[in-house]
Amino acid sequence: MSSSVSVANEGGVAIVTIDNPPVNALSFHVREPLMQALAALRDDASVAAIVIACAGRTFVAGADITEFGKPMQHPELRAIVAVLEAIAKPTVAAIQGTALGGGLELALGCHFRVADQGARLGLPEVKLGILPGGGGTVRLPRLVGAAKALKMIVSGTPIGADEAYGAGLVDAVFEGDLTTHVVNFVREMARKGGPFTPVRDRDDVIKETDLAAFDAEVADLARKARGLEAPVACAQAVRNAVTLPFDEALAEERALFVKLVASDQSRAQRHLFFAEREAAKLPGKDVVKRRIARVGVIGAGTMGGGIAMAFANGGFPVTLLETSQEALRRGLATIEKNYTVSVARGSLSEDAKRQRLAQFKGTVDHADLADCDLIVEAAFEDMAVKKEIFGKLDAVARPGAILATNTSYLDIDEIAASTSRPQDVLGLHFFSPANVMKLLEIVRAEKTAPDALATVVDLARRIGKVAVVVGVCHGFVGNRMLAARGSESEALLLEGATPSQIDKAFTDFGWPMGPFQMGDLAGLDIGWRNRKARGLTAVIADTLCEQGRFGQKTGRGFYLYENGSRMPVPDPEVEALIRGKAAEKGIVPRTIGADEIIERTLYPLINEGAKILEEGIAARASDIDVVWVNGYGFPVGKGGPMFWAGLEGAARIVGRLRYWHERTGKNVFKPAPLLERMAETGSWQV
């Protein structure tokens, strides 16, 4: 046997062990010996039962994603599952860690699945823009029913062992030494002598499907898919499992898989899978990380409270500092309210809520931060305020404590210089709501020590964030590019587009919402204050703010929000205001198409990304994609702005930017040299 697959015989029970670190993916060098092992064991009279197990921390976590897009080397997973499923002796999958994608499909080829208490099982292929291509869409519904299978396959979210047991996906759940339990389990099954019905022949559950209810669910899913093909194909495949004979449904699944795996959407989503993992890698592996046991957070407002919750949710005790007892009480009350909402929604137990709340210690005294290993400042966005706080922290924090600021724009080198320990200072730019949003921009200042940086990158992963390391500049990666995207919004309005036309062009592109809806949601006053501080103006947005139209929170912004609703309704008053301002400037309105809207907003965004790469503010183009997908809702099916630039054609983007630059003279349209090079070489390499 190869080193990737080994077989041991324990008194007539063959244990096939897959050993392909780190996640036991089903690479070619696993599939080939696995197929041989199964065929041999099928014909071996000394073997009464077969266990499929894995070495290391996890069961098979899926197909080997690095093999996608390359010529398939046989045997394919489907062929292995077919051989496995035809074996008459009892077969069982011993699942620990995660059984995902092709891993779960392999397990579905067994008569039985036995899981460790901590195991998680799922078919996450949809997140890679594909569907389970190894029979998962046809076999899973036969165990858990079409409705549950639809939910699991379309969401891609794995379920825990107990839930899997309740749903009929696993046959037993054990704690402790899984191999011993599984061998005993399968011996007992062999002793009982069957019947050992392959999953493909179990039709009882799917026969009960309420097809009308199923189709209603699918119609809803298709609406929510926002142009993504994979969720729709997943739903179609599960429906086929119910309506077509097994082999036909399997063939249809294959056809859908082949189509999806070759699509730009799937390429984009696979790009993002690896991009997220790449972003967390720092040069210099041997850096010893600092120990983080307690976290301090300064400011219990929306941002500070969210940040404190993010750490508490990750298991860290948090000291929360405010300027007054009243502000502290309010902040802690909001945190408690947020957890209560989670309990009401069923995503948190009462017990877990109590445990989370017990993690918080409130204070109004800086000296109480002395035992914190990381302190995150989330106070008012003002340099003088930040400097004063960091001066105080310098006096009280223990030596080696990491001092972080959550600033969205300010110069962190300047903040660091207000302490005697700039090597310990960095930026942790969370996105609101900080306990929910995945993205964390980690800002490396000029003097930040490598071990401080490595510590927070690791910490980000521990609290479930997707981290991207960026350099110091106004707005870092995300907000700097957002400014470039927004720079033409006003001009488009004045030239004749309405807020809802612009927002629709964005949602048609795949964004969850357009720039004006987003502005209304975030609060228009934030940008207004920011502009005033920098001596900038935006004629429409400024006028709206002067009228007290701050967005959703005031019931009026670019749109109307009636009776506390979050649904934006176009407002004729705003449209009249825009036309009035345009007339003052002598602009005659014209019809503006969606293509122009995308060109004038997203091409400058990409151009700014190129400048960010040239300046070394981001290390990789894929880091920028990770920022935009996880922090700003850039459509996953387009892979992030820099990946999409490749799909769209950098040469086209450069051409159109030149056109707009000539027409308007605006700097945002002046193609960055790196973008011009990308148009020639196809690479973002600086």
Provide the minimum distance between the beta carbon of 101 and ligand CAA in the complex, in angstroms, as a whole number: 2
Select 277 or 534, whichever has its Cβ closest to ligand CAA.
277
The site string for ligand CAA over 13-32 (x = CB under 6 A, - otherwise) reads ---------xx-x-------
* Residue 427 lies near ligand CAA (rule: CB under 6 A): no
| Least Cβ distance, residue 171 to ligand CAA (angstroms) | 22
Strands in 253-309 per DSSP E: 295-298
* Contact letters for ligand CAA, residues 378-417 (x by CB under 6 A): ----------------------------------------
49 or 249: whose CB is closer to ligand CAA? 249
> Residue 567's CB: how many other CB atoms inside 10 A?
9
CA distance linking residue 70 with residue 323, whole number of Å: 59
Q: Rounded to an integer, what is the distance from CA 410 to the centroid of its chain?
A: 27
Task: Report CA-CA distances (Å) from 685 to 271, 332, 603, 610, 642.
Answer: 16, 47, 19, 10, 12
As a whole number of angstroms, the distance between CA 272 and CA 354 comes to: 36
Residue owning tokens 């054990």 = 174
Sign of CA dihedral 30, 128, 462, 312: negative
676 is catalytic: no
- DSSP run (H or E) holding 246: helix 246-261
In the region spanning residues 127 to 186, those forming contacts with ligand CAA, defined by CB under 6 A, are 128, 132-134
Q: Give the nearest distance from C-beta 129 to ligand CAA in angstroms.
A: 10
Using CB under 6 A as the binding rule, the residues of this chain from 271 to 310 that contact ligand CAA are 277
Stretch binding ligand CAA (CB under 6 A), from 63-71, 172-180, 334-342, 506-514: 63-71
Q: Is 390 in contact with 296 (CB distance < 8 Å)? A: no
Does residue 127 contact residue 268 with C-beta atoms inside 8 Å? Answer: no
CB within 8 Å of 681: residues ≥ 6 apart: none
Catalytic residue from among 105, 229, 253, 648: 105
Q: Residue 231 interacts with ligand CAA (CB under 6 A)?
A: no
Is residue 9 a contact residue for ligand CAA (CB under 6 A)?
no
Is residue 671 a contact residue for ligand CAA (CB under 6 A)? no
Q: CB under 6 A: which stretch of 95-103, 303-311, 551-559, 595-603 binds ligand CAA?
A: 95-103
98 is a contact residue toward ligand CAA (CB under 6 A):
yes
Sole window of 125-133, 285-293, 296-304, 584-592 interacting with ligand CAA (rule: CB under 6 A): 125-133
Distance in Å, CB of 289 to ligand CAA, minimum? 17
* Residue closer to ligand CAA (CB basis): 124 or 486: 124
Select 234 or 416, whichever has its Cβ closest to ligand CAA.
234
For 327, 491, 493, the CA distances from 339, given in Å and listed in that order, are: 19, 43, 41
Closer to ligand CAA by CB, 381 or 623: give it: 623
Contact segment (CB under 6 A) with ligand CAA among 56-64, 229-237, 552-560, 570-578 equals 56-64
Q: Is 65 in the site for ligand CAA (CB under 6 A)?
A: yes
Tell me: does residue 61 bind ligand CAA (CB under 6 A). Answer: yes
Catalytic residue among 76, 125, 229, 252: 125
The separation between CA 88 and the C-alpha centre of its own chain, rounded to angstroms, equals 42
Which of these segments, 121-129, 323-331, 343-351, 547-555, binds ligand CAA (CB under 6 A)?
121-129
Interface with ligand CAA, residue 233, by CB under 6 A: no
Cα distances (angstroms) measured from residue 312 to each of 356, 361, 433: 6, 11, 14
Name residue, tokens 């320990």: 421
* Residue 400: alpha-carbon gap to chain centroid: 32
Among positions 62, 514, 604, 646, the unique one binding ligand CAA when judged by CB under 6 A: 62
Tell me the site size for ligand CAA, rule CB under 6 A.
22
What distance in Å separates the CA atoms of residue 123 and residue 108, rounded to the nearest whole number?
A: 11
Token pair 């210099």 in the structure block, residue: 284
102, 478, 557, 639: which one contacts ligand CAA (CB under 6 A)?
Answer: 102
CA distance 81 to 246: 14
Strand partners, 13: 10, 49
The whole-angstrom separation of Cα 564 and Cα 554 is: 9
Among 34, 77, 140, 218, binds ligand CAA (CB under 6 A): 77
Contacting ligand CAA within 310-339 (CB under 6 A): none
Q: Which is nearer to ligand CAA, 100 or 161 (CB)?
A: 100
Q: Which is nearer to ligand CAA, 439 or 544 (CB)?
A: 439
Site membership for ligand CAA, residue 125 (CB under 6 A): yes
- Let me know: does 136 contact 144? Beta carbons within 8 Å: no
Say if residue 555 is exposed, middle or buried (CB neighbours under 10 Å; 0-12, 13-18, 19+).
middle
CB of 405 to ligand CAA, least distance (A): 28
Sequence-separated (6 or more) residues with CB below 8 Å from residue 22 = 56
Q: Are strands 425-430 and 439-444 parallel, antiparallel or unpaired?
A: antiparallel
Q: Is 109 a binder of ligand CAA (CB under 6 A)?
A: no
Instruction: Give the Cα separation of 113 and 104 in Å (integer).
Output: 9
Cβ contacts of 327 within 8 Å, gap of 6 or more = 300
Q: Map the footprint of ligand CAA across residues 535-574, applying CB under 6 A.
A: none
Reply yes or no on whether 446 is catalytic.
no
- Please give the residue ranges that form the binding site for ligand CAA (CB under 6 A): 22-23, 25, 61-66, 77, 98, 100-102, 105, 124-125, 128, 132-134, 277
Q: Name the residues annotated as catalytic.
A: 105, 125
